[in-house]
Every structure is written in C-alpha cells, then in structure tokens.
C-alpha cells in the first residue's frame, strides 16, 4: 500500500512537472513570435551591404529642402572616404524571466561580417588601393524587452501577451571607445531654439524602458539636433583634421535599402560649441514615413568608431553604439 502511494505521488509529480514545462515553453514560444513580428525591436538598418559615403541617404522619403545641410563636412585632401559593413551571419538568443503577468526577455544579437573601408581619388574617382581594405568583425548588441499579459475576451484563454516596452540596444566591439550620453533636440525653423526631446545616459540605458505604444516620435521634415558624448581610451590614431581619434555617426532608417547616415562633428563649428571636447553634434532633417504613409517606425544607430578601424588595416575593430526605435509622423 505504501509503495502504491509513493508510485502514485511520483507519477503525479512527473506529469505535473511536464505540464509546467510545457506551459512555460508555450509562453516563450508566444513571446518569441511577438518579438519576431515587431518592427521596432529588430536590428535591420545596422548593415549597409557594403561601403557607402560618410553622409548618405538611400530609399528614404526626403523633404523638399533635401537632406544634408550647412553643417555637413568633407574630409581628405584629394580623396574621400567610404566605409560600411556586409553582414554574413547573425544570431539571436533570448533569456526569459517570466512571472504571472510580466516577462522580461534579455535579447542578445551576435553579428559577424566584413567591415569595408575605401578611399576614392576625387580627381578620377578610382579606388586608392593603398588606403582600401576589408577586415572581419563580430559584434554583440543587447537589450531588454518587457512583455505583459492583458485581458483579451477574444482569446479562448481570456488573455494575451503583448510587447509593453523595450530598452535601447547597446553594444559594440572592444573597450577602446564608448558613448557616455546621447541627446536629441528639436530645432526651431529659424534654428535659434533647441528644445530637448530625449536624453540617454549609458550608465542607466540598460534599464531605460521605452513604452512600445509611445516610442520617441519625430515629425517628418523637422530638423533635429543630435549630441553624443564619447570617450576614447587611446592610443588615438589622429588623422582627422580636428585632431580627434574617432568619428561619430548618426545612422537611421528601416533596413539596408532604406537608411541614411550623418557624420557628427567635434570641430567647434555650426552647432558644436567647443572643439575637441569629445561632444559631437550635428543636425539632421527628419525623413518622411514613406510615400502615401502617414506614419512609420524606424531605428537609429548612433555609433562611435575609432579611426584606426577605418584607416589602418591591422588597426583592430573598435566601435560602440546605442540604438533606439522611433516613430515618424507626417505633419497635418
């Protein structure tokens, strides 16, 4: 009798444990499906599919005044620089911590590919082989995504899960360069006033959740000002005319065929207040949501790149970036 009781209890525990495991696996499957289908939470736009000009637009709706304004800088005597990435492999892992009505997914992307740097002779537009090269890279990007369970009468279970919020995507390669803070301002039409929209501090960015229903929002064709405070532990490769050891870029868009890039400057010119103080700035005209669309969701990738990465074939690969999703609304 005792043996039978123990056997029955063991059998109950085994089946009960399987039921819990299956329920947990089912929830994670639902959450992964939500993550896969969400247009704000991915990494599309990080890849350029090859080399590109420092400042460029591809496939985005541009306002009537064009894209790059008076604070766009050129570089190099007799040549111009192009660079980009070609992604070969990407892997995503997600670790869930799930409670009764909330789940936090820690999302990690590992991206491998080829970094491409080219110098183009401005006299004949031919590639300068001695200044052009490719190098392999592998980078890791991380963020948290919060899921919540909500009442849903249309679901037989009486509830459903949805993405509630997400943190910025943070990552890079190496410890040489980093972004300390990132700020966005809305410029007035006369460029006389700048109103703060958003500030991100690297120390707290890992736990800074943006509501999925109210992502940072820009009005199409408004002009915004971007400030990025960066650090470079050295040794610095000073080839830049401003005696800086890194370049900073504001990348934006939806994917590799709808994207743009703007180089920020630290030369004490235009909107940059002090030269070589490691605070980079630049203004960008917000693109439109797309022809015949009233709104759209896109992603920014603000990135600091050590100059040895771009100019020295064996100079390593050192970058740091912060990425956030954003919404573009067409003006009424």
Query: pLDDT (tens digit, 0 to 9) for every residue of the chain, 332 residues total?
Result: 443 333 333 333 333 444 444 477 799 999 999 999 999 999 999 988 899 999 999 999 987 655 444 444 445 568 899 999 999 999 999 999 999 999 999 999 999 999 999 999 989 999 999 889 999 999 999 999 999 999 998 988 889 999 999 999 999 999 999 999 999 999 987 766 689 999 999 999 999 999 999 999 999 999 999 999 999 998 888 776 667 899 999 999 999 899 999 999 998 887 888 888 999 999 999 999 999 999 999 999 999 999 999 999 999 999 999 999 999 999 98
Beta strands in the chain (DSSP E): 50-53, 56-58, 79-98, 102-121, 133-151, 159-166, 169-173, 177-187, 194-201, 210-211, 217-219, 223-232, 246-255, 258-264, 279-285, 295-306, 319-329
Q: How many domains does the chain have?
A: 1
Residue 30 lies in a domain: no
Is 289 part of any domain? Answer: yes
pTM comes to: 0.87
> Is there a domain that residue 137 lies in?
yes
State the pLDDT at residue 136: 97
Q: Which residues face 306 on adjacent strands?
A: 246
Q: Measured at the alpha carbon of residue 219, what is the angle toward residues 214 and 220, in degrees to the nearest 5?
A: 130
Phi, psi for residue 140 in degrees, rounded to 5: -120, 130
Geometric angle at alpha carbon 174, from 301 and 260, rounded to 5°:
20
In a domain, 253, yes or no: yes
107 inside domain: yes
Cis peptide before 286 (omega within 30 of 0): no
Collapsing DSSP to helix, strand or coil, 304 comes out as: strand
Residue 268, domain extent: 38-329
Note whether residue 18 is domain-resident. no
**Spatial contact of 298 and 326, defined as CB atoms under 8 Å apart:** yes
Q: Is residue 52 part of a domain?
A: yes
Amino acid 272: pLDDT: 86
Name the CA dihedral angle for 303, 198, 149, 34, rounded to a multiple of 10 degrees.
-30
Long-range interactions of 128-135: CB distance < 8 A, separation 24+: 128/79, 131/79, 131/311, 133/313, 135/313, 135/317
d(CA 83, CA 95): 34
Q: What are phi and psi of 190, to 5 degrees?
A: -90, 0
Backbone angles phi, psi at 280, to 5 degrees: -95, 145
CA–CA distance, 223 with 194 (Å, rounded to integer) = 10
φ/ψ (deg, to 5) at 108:
-130, 125
User: What are 185's strand-pairing partners?
Assistant: 196, 225
Q: With DSSP H G I counted as helix, E B as strand and the rest as coil, what are the percentages for the chain, rounded to 5?
A: 15, 50, 35
Task: Please report whether residue 5 resides in a domain.
Answer: no
Q: How far is residue 228's CA from residue 220's CA, in Å, rounded to a whole number?
A: 22
């Amino acid at each position: 009798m005792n043996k039978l009781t123990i056997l029955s209890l063991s059998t109950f525990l085994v089946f009960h444990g399987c039921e819990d495991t299956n329920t947990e696996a089912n929830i994670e499957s639902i959450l992964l499906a939500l993550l896969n289908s969400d247009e704000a939470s991915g990494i599309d736009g990080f890849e350029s599919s090859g080399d590109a000009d420092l400042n460029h637009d591809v496939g985005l709706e541009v306002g009537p005044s064009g894209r790059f304004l008076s604070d766009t800088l050129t570089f190099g005597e007799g040549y111009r620089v192009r660079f980009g990435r070609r992604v070969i492999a990407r892997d995503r892992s997600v670790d869930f911590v799930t409670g009764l009505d909330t789940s936090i997914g820690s999302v990690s992307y590992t991206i491998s590919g080829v970094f491409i740097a080219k110098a183009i002779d401005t006299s004949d537009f031919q590639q300068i082989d001695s200044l052009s090269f490719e190098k392999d890279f592998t980078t890791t990007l991380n963020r948290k995504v919060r899921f919540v369970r909500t009442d849903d009468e249309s679901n037989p279970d009486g509830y459903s899960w949805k993405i509630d919020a997400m943190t910025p995507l943070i990552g890079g390669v190496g410890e040489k360069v980093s972004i300390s803070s990132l700020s966005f301002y809305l410029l007035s039409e006369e460029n006389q006033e700048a109103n703060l929209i958003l500030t991100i501090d690297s120390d707290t960015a890992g736990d800074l959740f943006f509501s999925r229903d109210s992502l940072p929002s820009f009005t199409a064709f408004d002009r915004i000002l971007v400030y990025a405070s960066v650090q470079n532990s050295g040794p610095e490769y000073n080839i830049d005319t401003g005696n800086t050891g890194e370049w900073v870029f504001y990348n934006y868009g939806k994917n590799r065929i709808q994207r743009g890039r703007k180089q920020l400057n630290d030369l004490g010119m235009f909107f940059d207040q002090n030269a070589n103080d490691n605070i980079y700035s630049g203004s960008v005209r917000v693109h439109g949501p797309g022809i015949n669309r009233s709104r759209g969701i896109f992603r920014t990738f603000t990135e600091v790149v050590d100059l040895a990465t771009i100019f020295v074939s064996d100079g390593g690969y050192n970058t740091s970036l912060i990425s956030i999703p954003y919404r573009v609304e067409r003006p009424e």
